Structure 1
Amino acid sequence: MTYINGIFKKHIQHLMLVMLALLFSHELFAQERGIPIHVNRGIQKTTAEIMATPPPQRPANFEQIRDSWEPEGPDREHLPQAPGAIDAPQWPLSKGPAPNPVPLLSPQTLGIQFDGATGPPPYPPDTDGAVGLTQFFVFINGRMRTFDKTTGVADGVIDIDPDVFFAAVETPP
């Protein structure tokens, strides 16, 4: 019993030392009172209103700005064909005509495959996104776009640059 009391007493002493150190620390009393500020109320817009917002105007020399950082490669535009190259659609060459395929008699389901928000300007292929009840939402590198879940076609509900999308609902300073 005395051993347990000794351990308990040692723990109580350590706890008291920590509490005293916290009580007399300057950081405990160094907190300042906050200064309240008043800001404008947030803006509420529907998706249709945001999509109707015209995109921001890019500078006239936008393409030159973008092309300035791209490295120049060697000019391979007017190279001759390799000598001895065979003019054939595949290698090795096929032997005779292709056999007639056997028609499938089982029902086939519709397969959907798409590369996400591709198109000008160039975006990397991306199939990650958020799936809803009827839509697939993709947000990559400067493009937010929704697709119809059953057909995989962009439905046009959201097809916008994120800078334009979020600028429409930003609270002004």
Structure 2
Amino acid sequence: MGNHLQPYSIFNLSFNGVLQNPKARKWNIYDAAGSVDIADDSIINYSGNRLPFNPKLLFNLSSEFQKNKVSSFIKWKYTGKREGNVANAFQLAAYSIFDAGIGYQINKNLSARVLASNLLNSDGLANFFGANSFGANANGVTQDYINDNPDASFIVVPILPRSTMLTLNYAF
């Protein structure tokens, strides 16, 4: 879903998002049990589970302003709670990120912008890769594994911390 609103020629408001039920009707995974011997292989049925890394709600809301030589924007990105793996053993928490920027057209060739990403320095996990051991993957982590290993470490991809930058653009 998405929408775009421009009540004034100098102001723009945009929204886009996804509202979904990311549930698998039929989902089987072949498990080689960590060996080349097919005698210990099995098929695991995850039918009815939610798809990993797919939130029910995901959206972007932004506003932009531009008048004469000045422009600015603010953007809110929201990623909802989602499953951390195919077993639905745990969930990754929802998070929000705010980005903002302001720009100025110095002359016909030169412009400057200040941009800030993750303005409020929010925390969040973008992805999960599993236990911090050789050969591990996200799907090997079950609720039993988490309960049996309360001090285990995991490989994750956090959202990036706050960053700011100044850009100068020269157009020939």
TM-score, scaled to structure 2: 0.22
> Which has the greater radius of gyration?
1
Structure with the largest fraction of strand: 2
TM-score, scaled to structure 1: 0.22
Structure with the largest fraction of helix: 1
